Amino acid sequence: MAENTYDSIPYPTFPRLATHPDRMAAVALLFGMKPAPVDRCRVLEIGCGNAGNLLPMAYALPGSRFLGIDLAEEPIARAHADIRALGLANLEVAARDLRDLGPEIGEFDFIIAHGVYSWVPEDVRDRLLALCRQRLAPAGVALVSYNLYPGRHIRQMLREMMFHHTHGDAPRERVDHARWFLDWLAKSCLAPPTFRKLIEEDAATLLAYTDGGLAHDDLSEVNHPLYFRDFVAHAAAHGLQYLGDTSIDRMFDPRGLLAWLPDDRLEREQYTDFLYLRSFRHTLLCREEVPLARSPRAETMERLCFSAPYKMVDGDLEGAGGIRIGVNQPSVEAVARAMGACYPLPVTFQELLPYAGSAGELREMLLALISVGFAECHAYGFPCQDSVSQRPRATALARYQAQRSAKLVNVVHAVIDMDEFGRRLVLLLDGTRDRATLARDIAAGPDPPTAEEIVALLPERLQQFAALGLLEG
């Protein structure tokens, strides 16, 4: 059997907010579906790697069930070790070919296939969509990501150049030689300035990839971009329909740039890709017989939760993704400030209601805020320990991750980049130490801060951990 390069060149897997059942359920609610509760659902991830995406979900949602499958055996072995270390009874992983999956795996409320469709042969793409149809629950949602035209054209040009330069190389050599080529091309390109800038920027992006990312994404033997219209047609051939996209704001047209188009949602989505020169999509699918609303309604806001950071910049409110809006109404600023006070944890509609003039005003306001990308909407409230106890305890997941990395995953599935002081502190937060003991043990560690620095930093960092969703009761 030929060597699986995913065994020999590890591919980085990490939490992806776009793939969380919360995001999929939120989009389903926006378009009139009744998805399974996020904290009591069944999730299948195809191409799970070492379960870096599934593991935090399973830890934070103990009432849900998760299954991950991957063709490569080495990543699955690493996932098994992590599952045992954390004692997770609701997550299973297996080294299996998706073409061999049948009724024995059961039915799922959410199916995730991130980084699969564009990187497998045509027959496997067919089987992937057929599997989604066969294994989806009646109100289930499937996520399929893929490389997308028109935005992918520049990257495909670089890919073809890299393949020419690395022709005949072994997989590991191909990565090294491709890096040399990209560096050379970016520095030596003699194309007109407009093209040269595109080449330089895309080459810099590729050079920043890990070896696994470069080997398995842009240097993979199969890399099949396509237009949105063609993907939707392929899904329809398997009894699936377009539900939406995980980039929720891009499903709206707040500036009316597409007003000239007929009232055809799929056509509008295709032209949205033209406007953004979009190169990648996380498309959500459901069964073709499921009735869907033509567009999100303000009334749905009462069933959702909301999150957004809050800053005042040059007199404007700045929320998610750096999106800024003018302060035209005191109630808008009050609602934005209330979300910011809890960020990244979401806030319910009812919790925001006192900050708006009426329920009707709040519904319209929140729909407008998510339509421009200022706020994110959620189907789940992500309950957590949001205050600091006498003997604070970080989540077992955070403590386990802090043993090996400064990147920790919080309860809302976001990656937190921790500094060294924070990482050491997380390791000590096992629920047995009060503040005095924590200060003493930090001081006893290698290269400790001064006693004055510890006294100043400790309360602030503990409160920050609670606000970030890193503590548990």
Q: Render pLDDT for 313-365 as a digit per residue (tens, 0 to 9).
A: 988 999 998 999 988 789 999 999 999 999 999 999 999 999 998 999 999 99
At 391-430, the pLDDT tens digits run 999 999 999 999 999 999 999 999 999 999 999 999 999 9
At 212-225, the pLDDT tens digits run 999 999 999 999 99
- Separation of alpha carbons 38 and 327, rounded Å: 34
pLDDT, residue 374, reads: 97
Q: What pTM was estimated for this model as a whole?
A: 0.95
Average pLDDT over residues 255-276: 96
Contact 431, 344 (CB under 8 A): no
- Separation of alpha carbons 4 and 8, rounded Å: 7
Q: Residues with Cβ < 8 Å from 225, sequence gap 6 or more?
A: 118, 146, 147, 148, 149, 152, 156, 279
Contact 1, 262 (CB under 8 A): no
At 101-110, the pLDDT tens digits run 999 999 999 9
Q: Within 14-104, where are the H helices? A: 21-30, 54-60, 73-86
Taking 70 as the threshold, does the pLDDT of residue 227 lie above it?
Answer: yes
Share of the chain above pLDDT 90, in %: 92
pLDDT, residue 447, reads: 87
Taking 90 as the threshold, does the pLDDT of residue 10 lie above it?
Answer: no
Q: How far is CA 33 from CA 27, 311, 321, 366, 369, in A?
A: 9, 34, 27, 19, 21
b/e string for 341-373 if b means 16 or more Cβ within 10 A?
Answer: ebbbbbbebeebbebbeeeeebbebbbbbbbbb
pLDDT, residue 2, reads: 53
The pLDDT-based confidence of 38 (bands split at 50, 70, 90) is very high
Contact 83, 43 (CB under 8 A): no
pLDDT, residue 50, reads: 96
Return the higher-pLDDT residue of 276 and 5: 276
pLDDT, residue 328, reads: 79
Which of 39-53, 333-347, 438-452 shows the lowest mean pLDDT across its residues?
438-452
**21 closest CA partner among 100, 90, 77, 98:** 90
pLDDT, residue 1, reads: 40
**Superfamily designation of domain 5-149+225-287:** Vaccinia Virus protein VP39 (3.40.50.150)
Q: Residues with Cβ < 8 Å from 108, sequence gap 6 or more?
A: 42, 43, 44, 67, 135, 136, 137, 140
Give residue for tokens 């990656």: 415
Q: What is the mean pLDDT of the chain?
A: 95
Cis-peptide, bond into residue 35, ω within 30° of zero: no
Q: Provide the 10 A C-beta neighbour count for residue 38.
A: 26
Label residue 418 left, alpha or beta by phi (over 0 means left) and psi (-120 to 50 means alpha).
Answer: beta
Instruction: Please report, as a single letter, which amino acid is at residue 404.
Output: R
Contact 375, 339 (CB under 8 A): yes
The two three-digit tokens of residue 170, written as one number: 């072994």
- Separation of alpha carbons 161 and 114, rounded Å: 26
The pair phi, psi for residue 29, each rounded to 5°, is: -65, -40
Cα–Cα–Cα angle for 193, 199, 202, rounded to 5 degrees: 140
pLDDT, residue 100, reads: 95
At 287-321, the pLDDT tens digits run 999 999 999 999 999 999 999 999 999 889 999 98
pLDDT, residue 292, reads: 97
pLDDT, residue 7, reads: 87
- Separation of alpha carbons 191 and 27, rounded Å: 43
The pLDDT-based confidence of 3 (bands split at 50, 70, 90) is low
The pair phi, psi for residue 97, each rounded to 5°, is: -90, 130
